[in-house]
Amino acid sequence: MKTKIKEKATDMFLNYGFKSVTMDDIASAIGISKKTIYAEYNNKTALIEDCVMNKICAINEGIDSIIAKGKNPIEELYEIKKYVMSHLKDEKTSPQFQLMKYYPKIHENMKSLQLSKMQKCLLSNVERGIKQEIYRPNLDPEFIARMYYSGINSIKDQNIFPVDKFPISKLMDDFLEYHLRGIVTKKGKDTLNTIINSNQQ
């Protein structure tokens, strides 16, 4: 029952927002009593924390499987972005923004997990890109990895990028292109343009 509650709650939180969805809503959607949920979780915060951490672990596993394919580093970043976007339904409610605003401790824990994971992935990506001569040789991989991670988190701030003016899917695309154009070589630029053109068709 706990797994069923967690799966349904995660889907509802991502679709409608962490603040908007109540325990009554979740119980009604599953067809159980609210008491049954409280038998598994002491409160809504505990349920949200379990949902968030479970989702992060699932996304991390997916990222690992993408990296294991050994793709071109530019293609890899685009595939990871596409994969993450398919799991986080940010377009509707920007759940991470709600998480940051209403459940800051959970958001901080999530960021800590993300930072640890993304630093390794991004560092490896930059180093491989330099070796393959699609990223500039004079880059500091640690700096580039941290700048990219920092930028990804900044564009999720709706105070800076209100969702009505900057739809999240386009914002992610624009940011990734912005990042890559600053670090690619001529060879990398050709690869980047090919990917962007194929995505627009």
List the beta bridge partners of residue 97.
Answer: none
pLDDT at 148: 94
Asked if the structure places residue 79 within a domain, the reply is yes
Please state the pTM of the whole predicted model. Answer: 0.85
Q: Which residues sit opposite 135 in a β-bridge? A: 184
pLDDT in tens, the chain (201 residues): 999 999 999 999 998 889 989 999 999 999 999 999 999 999 999 999 999 999 999 999 999 999 999 999 999 999 999 998 888 765 555 677 788 889 999 999 998 888 888 888 999 999 999 999 999 999 999 999 999 989 988 888 888 998 889 988 889 999 999 999 999 999 999 999 999 998 876
State the Cα–Cα distance between residues 156 and 35, nearest whole angstrom. 35
| Structure tokens that stand for 122 in this block | 């991004």
Helices (H) and strands (E) in the chain — how many of each?
A: 11, 0
**Which residues span the domain enclosing 188?**
48-200
Q: Is 24 a domain residue?
A: no
176: in domain: yes
Please report whether residue 11 resides in a domain. Answer: no
Does residue 40 belong to any structural domain of this protein?
no
Structural domain count of the chain: 1
Answer yes or no: are the C-beta atoms of 78 and 132 closer than 8 Å. no
Q: What is the mean pLDDT of the chain?
A: 91
To the nearest 5 percent, what fractions of the chain are helix, strand and coil?
Answer: 75, 0, 25
pLDDT digits (tens, 9 = 90+) for 154-199: 888 888 998 889 988 889 999 999 999 999 999 999 999 999 998 8
Q: How far apart, in whole angstroms, are the C-alpha atoms of residue 97 and residue 147?
A: 20
Q: The CATH number of the domain where 114 resides is what? A: 1.10.357.10
184, β-bridge pairs: 135
In a domain, 114, yes or no: yes
- Answer whether residue 30 is part of any domain: no
Q: Which structure tokens are listed for 82?
A: 């596409």
